[in-house]
Amino acid sequence: MTLELPEAAPLVWAPFGPDRVVEGDNLPLLRALPDGAFRLVYLDPPFNTGREQLRRTTITRHDPIGGTRMGFHGRPYDVVRSSVTRYDDAFTDYWAFLEPRLEEAWRVLAEDGTLYLHLDQREVHYAKVLLDALFGRECFLNEIVWAYDYGARTTRRWPAKHDTILVYVKDPERYLFDATEVDREPYMAPGLVPPEKAALGKLPTDVWWHTIVSPTGREKTGYPTQKPLGVLRRIVAASSAPGDWVLDPFAGSGTTGEAARALGRRFLLVDESPTAIDVMRARLGNGVLIGRGPRDRATPHSAQWPPL
């Protein structure tokens, strides 16, 4: 049975009680969360923000995280950002939308927590430079390439068939990474290793071959950007422990919640799309508290979804 909260009472979060699905803009919700509450934050934002909104916005804050972080060559983050975003309006808009959410995601991350940012080839190169400057270059852990093979292939260039997931930790000295919990892969040439090793399989590298959600398979929810459970399971298994809280501010169909539940973690999922909430209600409803988040819409940017 789902536990639906009345509209008038905004659903936020508490460290006890049931898993939660919140409908609304994730920024006011993130701002209402306490520091350091989540072992794992996974973000899979849409790459489409309202350009005209940016034209009205000037970012004036300095040194958003920690007060002392410096970017490349000792330049402050603001300087790194303005040089990276100068040449690409679309990315500038995107980053203006994402930046305040990443700042909050960093704040609510536990001291030994890990943040995964799921991107594609249009934005990852800029985002990597900016995240290095924003979080600190020493906090970069991995660039995971999720490779799939589905759909049409252009013959005019190399068909793009991968996403990139950037992984940052809050503290490079004390983050959690539990390799023993990660599912293993078959060796490419099992005949070249001893039979016991071949039977055990190998630890995945930072390149993950995994099919997309099959359009006809059981996993399919019908939500257009649904990510495979296998990818999220791996992330949750490696970077959180049973009982930990996992946060997904762009939850979509709730894949992170399903992976978290299967592995005994608790979850807080947020999405502003009523369609996504309906999909999550059907997918995860049992025992989950569902409600609307804080209504403060005084945020400068909001993504449009689905893309126009």
Ligand X SMILES: C[S@@+](CC[C@H](N)C(=O)[O-])C[C@H]1O[C@@H](n2cnc3c(N)ncnc32)[C@H](O)[C@@H]1O
User: Could you tell me the CA-to-CA distances from 178 to 114, 183, 296 in Å, in that order?
Assistant: 12, 11, 38
| Residue 112 identity (one-letter amino acid) | D
In angstroms, rounded to a whole number, what is the distance separating the alpha carbons of residues 65 and 104?
9
In angstroms, rounded to a whole number, what is the distance separating the alpha carbons of residues 94 and 96?
5
Among 10, 18, 36, 46, binds ligand X (CB under 6 A): 46
Among 272, 277, 288, 290, binds ligand X (CB under 6 A): 272
Task: State yes or no: residue 26 binds ligand X (CB under 6 A).
Answer: yes
Which 212-241 residues touch ligand X, going by CB under 6 A? 223, 225-227
**Residue written as token pair 């007060």:** 67
Among 11, 28, 37, 44, binds ligand X (CB under 6 A): 44
Among 85, 92, 240, 255, binds ligand X (CB under 6 A): 255
Residue number with CB closer to ligand X (164 or 226): 226
Residue number with CB closer to ligand X (46 or 201): 46
Type and span of the H or E element at 93 = helix 89-108
DSSP β-ladder status, 162-169 and 140-147: antiparallel
Residues in contact with ligand X, total (CB under 6 A)?
21
| Token pair of 97 as six digits | 């939308």
Task: State yes or no: residue 302 binds ligand X (CB under 6 A).
Answer: yes
Residue number with CB closer to ligand X (184 or 220): 220
User: Could you tell me the CA-to-CA distances from 198 to 193, 204, 205 in Å, in that order?
Assistant: 6, 14, 16
Task: State yes or no: residue 38 binds ligand X (CB under 6 A).
Answer: no
Residues at the contact surface with ligand X, assessed by CB under 6 A:
25-26, 44-46, 223, 225-227, 250, 252-253, 255, 270-273, 276, 302-303, 305
